[in-house]
Structure 1
Amino acid sequence: MALVSEFLGQLTLGHGGLREPRFPTVVPARDFDAERDASWIDTAIKTKGVDEHVIIDILTRRTYAQRREIAFEYERKEKKDLVTALKGALSGSLESVILGLMKSTTQFDAFELRASMKGLGTDEESLIELVCSRSNEELVEIKKVYRELFKKELEKDVAGDTSGDFAKLLLALVQAKREEPSNVVDYEKIDNDARVLYEAGVKRKGTDVITWINIFSERSVPHLQKVFERYNSYSPYDMKESIRKEVKGDLEKSFLTLVECFENKQLYFANKLNDAMKTKSVKEKVLTRIIVSRCEIDLMKICTEFKRQFGKSLYQTISEQTKGDYQRALLNLCGGDN
């Protein structure tokens, strides 16, 4: 398992520009047989009381591509949709996990974004996490899928549900105008951006937020990492301290999320997972969203960061803070204890 993930992590998949390395906990199942899996799931659904364990152990140990094959075989044999059947068989937190797994990562993100803005009030925490932690390439794909699924433009929904500088920052990110990383390090541009960030914030009275938004949303991630290092030679505060001093509320949270993701995205998610399980009442929505959305991307690395940061594995923490079928599903998606 570790060897497979290590190998997959070294691959740079994608087209037109390098994609981030992958460290998944869910990898293709060996000896995969979609017809057999579909048959077992059908039996589990029809069992009196539903055999959740069979459903969990199959669907959490298959990749999205394999789950789609299972769904195809199920529909071919049973003449009905697997997702509809699962909806009828499951409930609560477990249903959220399993139905989330039946979507591609991009579809799942699009649905989560829609849910964060639909109805009364906006779920700013989800909106910030989803927009600020996704790469340019991911945002381009999410916008396309969002349009296909909801016949709406993501930009219009974000603009309609947010306001002020917070809206401007999110919209700038959603437009996905970030530069691609370059092999050439432009030290002059790094120095200039660091100085401009300082002069637009800490150095003056009142913050020139638009200048901050432009640099944060348009520069490549490796460039910004160097800009934040250089920033310390101009400002008495580091970038995160400067953000806390200069802006407040959702705008502050968004800028801080961006910095944390630029510096170490997996540590950002590890911290979010820890926060979600710190109190007596676990934030299951956050827990589900991160585990489901990252299990085929970088959850193995998130698990490593979690243990390094908190001295206890994510697997162990989930074991202590959750229970029942929901716990079983999440632990399977973690791919074992590290």
Structure 2
Amino acid sequence: MAKYTRGTIKDFHGFNANNDAEALRKAMKGLGTDEDTIMKILTSRSNAQRQQIAVSFKTLFGRDLVDDLKSELTGKLEKVIVALMTPSNLYDAQELRHAMKGAGTTENVLIEILASRSSSEINHIKKVFKEEYGCELEDSITSDTCGYFQRMLVVLVQANRDPDSKVNDSLVEQDAQDLFKAGEMKWGTDEEKFITILGTRSIAHLRKVFDKYMTISGYQIEETIDRETSGHLEKLLHAIAMCVRSVPSYFAYTLYQAMKGAGTDDDTLIRVMASRSEVDMLDIRKEYRKHYGKSLLQAIKGDTSGDYRNTLILLCAGDDE
């Protein structure tokens, strides 16, 4: 599996799981909680190291670290710390499950995760989902969604996108023409054509298709998606197109949307900051600065407060002024 190197959180040099476990126990033992110690340790260790700390914590004290953290912390701080303590594939599986559990569905979570993860990552998520919940991710999706939105999600969950080295130059022109005929040139829209091409072609191939599409139609593919589709399908196709161009740019956009205007979508803010901190947070920071006129760090400082804000600042790990 690819080793990500553009995260702000990396393996901590001189790591000692027992020492960290003892420091965390001390931070939570007795009256009051030393939130600073908890934040500093858990935001400077990789996810793999956090799992080792949890094992040491149980070995040394016979206690579950995550349960102790939940009992000592509250609100948004608790949520972000628990997210950091969860292995990445399990965290994605949990977020997808929560998005579909009970009355109503949180479609933006399905869109964000399934549009941005690689085929390999989706296969891991499916495996964990089945182990945790005893049912297939696809079955949960089909019982909670409908129409073309459902069909696009099902295609993504198959995780059968062409490998990224595969670019069929003779098919680039054909795909671009087919998308043009399915959208701008057609009365109504042939959604199936968009679903098949955007859901199965390799990322490298789709980038060439988008360039060719611009040449043929005079429009960016995102403009056509916005005009020709609506609702959740539009948001999903738009997210896929953005991720084809740049996954960090997509997450910069997602963070911007979570913090703009009155109120903050803290669930999205926590999910992105926690799940991308070891993957591509440095690139997300760069894209945020480029597109939104201020740094991600400035945005976080302006939209959050207290220990929760301090934890997000540690995950952001720097400014881009």
Q: Which 4+ runs in 1 deviate beyond 6 A?
A: none
Query: What is the percent sequence identity of the aligned residues?
Result: 40
User: Which runs of structure 2 are paired with 1:104-115 in the superposition (5 Å)?
Assistant: 104-115=87-98
Q: How far apart are 1:186 and its partner, in Å? A: 2.8
Measured in 1, the distance between the counterparts of 2:283 and 2:153 equals: 27
Measured in 1, the distance between the counterparts of 2:257 and 2:165 equals: 35
Measured in 2, the distance between the counterparts of 1:140 and 1:157 equals: 15
Measured in 2, the distance between the counterparts of 1:158 and 1:65 equals: 29
Question: Which of residues 156, 162, 168 in structure 2 aligns to 1:179?
Answer: 162
Match of 1:189 in 2: 171
Aligned residues: 320
Measured in 1, the distance between the counterparts of 2:216 and 2:185 equals: 9
Match of 2:285 in 1: 303
Match of 2:204 in 1: 222
Measured in 2, the distance between the counterparts of 1:36 and 1:292 equals: 24
Question: What amino acid does structure 1 have at the position aligned with 2:303?
Answer: Q
Measured in 1, the distance between the counterparts of 2:299 and 2:229 equals: 34
RMSD of equivalent CA atoms: 1.3
Matched, 1:210 2:174: no
Match of 1:71 in 2: 54
Q: How far apart are 1:21 and its partner, in Å? A: 5.1
Measured in 2, the distance between the counterparts of 1:280 and 1:82 equals: 35
Q: How far apart are 1:310 and its partner, in Å? A: 2.0
Match of 1:58 in 2: 41
Measured in 1, the distance between the counterparts of 2:94 and 2:207 equals: 31
Match of 1:35 in 2: 18
Any unmatched runs of 5+ in structure 2?
none
Measured in 2, the distance between the counterparts of 1:99 and 1:20 equals: 23
Question: What amino acid does structure 1 have at the position aligned with 2:18?
Answer: E
Question: What amino acid does structure 2 have at the position aligned with 1:32?
Answer: F
Measured in 2, the distance between the counterparts of 1:66 and 1:21 equals: 16
Measured in 2, the distance between the counterparts of 1:297 and 1:237 equals: 32
Measured in 2, the distance between the counterparts of 1:280 and 1:46 equals: 38
TM-score (norm 1): 0.92
Matched, 1:280 2:262: yes
Deviations 1:68-104 (A, max 9, x none): 1111111011111111111111110011111111111
Match of 1:49 in 2: 32
Deviations 1:97-128 (A, max 9, x none): 11111111111111110011001100011111
Q: How far apart are 1:300 and its partner, in Å? A: 1.0
Question: What amino acid does structure 2 have at the position aligned with 1:89?
Answer: E
In structure 2, relative to structure 1, the CA distance for the partners of 1:247 and 1:20 (3 Å cut) is: farther
Measured in 1, the distance between the counterparts of 2:58 and 2:70 equals: 15
Q: How far apart are 1:283 and its partner, in Å? A: 1.0
Q: How far apart are 1:304 and its partner, in Å? A: 1.0
Question: Which of residues 125, 136, 146 in structure 2 aligns to 1:153?
Answer: 136
User: Which runs of structure 2 are paired with 1:239-278 in the superposition (5 Å)?
Assistant: 239-278=221-260
In structure 2, relative to structure 1, the CA distance for the partners of 1:20 and 1:74 (3 Å cut) is: closer
Measured in 1, the distance between the counterparts of 2:168 and 2:231 equals: 33
Measured in 2, the distance between the counterparts of 1:296 and 1:205 equals: 45
Measured in 1, the distance between the counterparts of 2:318 and 2:220 equals: 37
Measured in 2, the distance between the counterparts of 1:74 and 1:252 equals: 46
Measured in 1, the distance between the counterparts of 2:206 and 2:307 equals: 42
Match of 1:319 in 2: 301
Measured in 2, the distance between the counterparts of 1:182 and 1:261 equals: 17
Measured in 2, the distance between the counterparts of 1:41 and 1:121 equals: 38
- Match of 1:49, SS state, is coil
Measured in 1, the distance between the counterparts of 2:308 and 2:211 equals: 42
Measured in 2, the distance between the counterparts of 1:67 and 1:21 equals: 17
> Does structure 1 conserve the Cα–Cα contact (< 8 Å) formed by 2:4 and 2:278?
no
Measured in 1, the distance between the counterparts of 2:256 and 2:194 equals: 29
- Match of 1:257, SS state, is helix
